[in-house]
Each structure stands twice: as C-alpha cells, then as structure tokens.
Structure 1
C-alpha cells in the first residue's frame, strides 16, 4: 500500500462523495469528490444485496487491491475516491476490473462523469 493513500472512515465523508462525480461500470460505481487538501483517500462500500459476508469481504479485498494499484498514479490529488460494489463485480475477471477502473479514473481526470442519478423519493402516505 502506498503511504500517500489513506482510508475514509467517517460516514459523512462517504455521503459527501455522493455529491461528486459518479462513473458506473459493470462491476462497480466510482465516486470522486474534492476533500479540501486531505490527500488521496479511498473508501469501499459493498451492501448486503451483493451477498453474504464471505462474498462481500472477498469483493472488498479485490477492490482494495485495485485501488492500491491504481490510485497512487491515476487518482486525483486531494480527492476522496469511493468504490461501490455492484452485483456482477465479484465474478468479474480481475484484469477486466483493472481496465474498467483505469478507464473510470481517466474519465474522472477529464472531468466527465455519468449523468446524476434521479433521487429516490419515499412515499409520503403512512397508514395507521
């Protein structure tokens, strides 16, 4: 692991990254947001929808290796980088994930993100 990388631990930082650039790929979604001079930081999110704990931990280990390999050279300086696991990500070939991540980081460097997601609205009707 590169000493210039640090891990994001606070939920507020994860939520703040959700307001930044978003790039979706088949195995993951990459979020990036400037962090005000805190250096290159990364975070990983894999929800229970992906699978049981064994599957989620395996996906997180793979993502960690991807980020450790790619972020020191291709990551944006003073940005938070968040990888969110998608359903097909754990079965994808590691080399395919590497090429997708490098393409996603290049799009970030160019300032090109995917269009913003439409917000989910909770229904206001409550039954007694």
Structure 2
C-alpha cells in the first residue's frame, strides 16, 4: 500500500496539470450568431464524406479562430443531431489546432446518415483534408478575351 501524497506533491501536480491544460487548449471560440453562420455559408466550401466544411477569412485583424456546428432535422431527431454535433466537436478538438489559420471562421455541417455512422478516424481525416483544401492557394483565372 502506498502512502498518501504530501501537500507539496499535490500542489506540484496541480500546477503541472494546470499548465498542461492551458498549453493544450485549442484556442477557438464557438460561433453563436446566425449572421456569422450565414457569412460562412457564402464563403469557401469543401464537401467530405462525413460533413460539409464552410470556411471564411474575416479580414478583421483579430487572431481568433471561431467554429460553429450545425445539423438540420434531416439528420434525425434531437438525440441524433446532438450526437452528430458531439462527434463534430470532438474532431475539431483533435484536428483544428494544428491546421486552422488565425482570423478564420469555420462551420461544420452534419450530413444525414454519414456524420453519425462514419468511422471516427475517417471523420478526422476528412477534416484534415478539407482544411488543407480550403487553405490551398487558389489558381488565378485568366482574363477573359471579351
């Protein structure tokens, strides 16, 4: 049987856990206003097997990364929609901190049948690929000969 930890050991563990929690914090805010969702819907889109990613550069010189989640009634009842949003939130927590760019809004839209049933590793790969596609440089269109 091991002896109980001393008060100094408890304080040291609390400090190290607090630092780890702060440094691993993803650093994104949740979108809540309808207008932000509508603006993101008009910007870049990237479809995947499990969801649709909408992304928008705000051009407002703030480094905040904002994320929104939405699932329509096509997904199913409230239980199914909440499960789909929980899965989307978890893949964002796992993938977004490494690939998101400051000053962007991202909205993940659940897909009927796919968001809930798709393998979790495939959902994470979907988000990784979608973020790379959204942030890839766009080719310039040649000027028209009109």
Does TM, normalized by the shorter one, top 0.5? yes
- Could you say which residue in structure 2 is the equivalent of 1:26? 49
SS at match of 2:68: strand
- Could you say which residue in structure 1 is the equivalent of 2:13? none
Structure with more of its chain in helix, by fraction: 2
- Alignment counterpart, residue 93 of structure 2, candidates 68, 71, 82: 68
1:54 corresponds to 2:88: no
SS at match of 2:105: strand
Q: Which structure 1 residue ranges, 5 or more long, are not aligned?
A: 113-128
SS at match of 1:2: coil
SS at match of 1:90: helix
- Could you say which residue in structure 2 is the equivalent of 1:94? 120
Number of residue pairs aligned between Structure 1 and Structure 2: 112
Structure possessing the higher radius of gyration over alpha carbons: 2
**Scaled by the length of structure 1, what TM-score is found?**
0.82
SS at match of 2:49: coil
Partner Cα separation in structure 2 for residue 11 and residue 2 of structure 1: 26
RMSD: 1.4
Partner Cα separation in structure 2 for residue 105 and residue 3 of structure 1: 16
Partner Cα separation in structure 2 for residue 12 and residue 38 of structure 1: 20
**Scaled by the length of structure 2, what TM-score is found?**
0.72
